[in-house]
Chain A
Amino acid sequence: MDKDFKVYKCRCIVKGSCSGEAIVSKDPMCFYLCDPKTGIVIERNHAIHGKSIAGKILVLKSGKGSSVVQVDGFYQLKAQNTLPAAIIIRDTEPVIVSAAVVTGTTMVDRMDTDPFEAICDGDYVEVDADAEEVHVRRNK
């Protein structure tokens, strides 16, 4: 039994299957405050200020802020190919769901454990939204 590897159930919001390195944001995010060229969070005093979300599995507390620039934030990142590969969201909120649907960004929620406990920065995570599963390999 591989104790560093775990499988969790989740719920699919936007379909898709992808994997990558995890980045965890315990602060809610407004994607407009990301640099579309690099995917780096530019919001001052933010939990992941200065870090890139591009191509990663983003474990996110929630969305926040303007009801329009969130969507544009997603759109601009998509245009530059710097969106996260998938988003695991803890407190689901309508605006970020809209943004994910419109841009086709894989999104799941309701993991059967607290995602902040189960996943740390640098873990290797597979999100299979179609099977409603999250696979986590802990990085030591």
Chain B
Amino acid sequence: MSLLHVIFAPGLFSSPSVQAAMTVGGVVALVCAPVGVFTVMRGQSFAGHAFSDISATGGSAAFLLGISPLLGFALMGLAGAGAMEALGAGRHRGRDLVTGIVLGAGLGISALLLYLSTTVHTTTGAAVTVLFGSIFAVSSASWPTVIAFGAAALSLVAVVYRPLLLSSISPDLAAAQGTRASLVGAAYMGALALSVALSALTIGAILSTALLIGPAAAALRLAKTPGRATAWAGAIALGSVWAGIVLAYDSYGWPPVHQGWPVSFFVVTLVLICYLLAQLPAWRGR
């Protein structure tokens, strides 16, 4: 058996579920990159994490109701974005506080919904699926929704790109130019909620910020323009997701259970490795 066969196990590329996972994961990675870059620049990683917890609420509600989890993630995320804007998360001072409160409420409700799911559906997989993702189980029926959400998130960022960039550099400079901070902030929050929903579908609600923040944080170390940072973030996210899928497929033969390790573990670990590698030039420079 050649080394190539060790890495790319036989049957990998002909498996429909792998193809589906590669496609969905690829779209998600490319959407998360630009949104993630802005999230890191704006210092709103915590808000992103709150969205992932709120999305978990939506996902568990969707599981209980038997509708598409992606729809649950996104609707709840957008509702959370509205709640956070209304409660004043845009103001720097109140941001952490409001984010923390909304996050806590989301997880609490999530706990209830997941508990109800286990009693109603007598399945125990709900919690794992919602919280830690199930990209191999993404049905091809959800592709149109994935692509539509991705396109919507990218369009929102593209439309407000320049005011968003300036307000991410300095809200004061943006205000001096007459930028409507609330509109730009709302567009960004919408894009963030959608990206988190997509990411939640791929690697799970709890882990979804890893795909959003990690590649972007590494990219900010490597690139000195917003465009190049987005390209780096996209490459890292895409590489991590695809390599994660390949490794997860390989892991079907691994101990202890011979059922495969979760994709999310591989993706998140690869993102972390990329982030650490991106720090190397700075360490050497010291």
**B is a partner of A:** no
